[in-house]
């Protein structure tokens, strides 16, 4: 009985740290053209998004959509996206593993 209780407590304590990976967003395609499906930039000048802070990505996407960040390409790419879609994109990219830094 004691080992069962210990196992249940271990799952209760450790379990929540293993959050399920977010599902691939339906709107990922246009973002992936520049930022890559896994958040590693595909074109020069596009920033890597993999592993960025969720709150930062969420707020940046809202600012591009609303025009508070003056980047016509981003505003056109995002278009009239809902907060739920922006949140889904931010969750996806923040959950991706950042690119490893190479050694010179």
Residue 25 lies in a domain: yes
The tens digit of pLDDT for each residue in 61-94 reads 999 999 999 999 999 988 888 999 999 999 999 9
Number of structural domains in the chain: 1
Establish if 72 belongs to a structural domain: yes
Assess if residue 83 is contained within a domain. Answer: yes
Identify the domain containing residue 33 by its residue range.
Answer: 19-95
pLDDT digits (tens, 9 = 90+) for 26-48: 888 889 999 999 999 999 999 99
Q: Is residue 100 part of a domain?
A: no
What CATH number is associated with residue 25? 1.10.760.10
Cα-Cα-Cα-Cα dihedral sign, residues 30, 31, 32, 34 = positive
């Amino acid at each position: 009985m004691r080992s069962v209780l210990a196992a249940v407590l271990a799952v209760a304590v450790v379990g929540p740290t293993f959050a399920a990976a977010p599902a691939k967003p339906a709107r990922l395609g246009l973002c992936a053209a520049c930022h890559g499906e896994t958040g590693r930039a595909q074109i020069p000048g596009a920033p890597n998004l993999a592993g960025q802070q969720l709150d930062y990505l969420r707020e940046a996407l809202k600012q591009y959509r609303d025009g508070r960040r003056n980047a016509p390409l981003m505003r056109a790419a995002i278009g009239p996206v809902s907060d739920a879609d922006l949140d889904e994109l931010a969750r996806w990219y923040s959950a991706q593993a950042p690119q490893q830094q190479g050694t010179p």
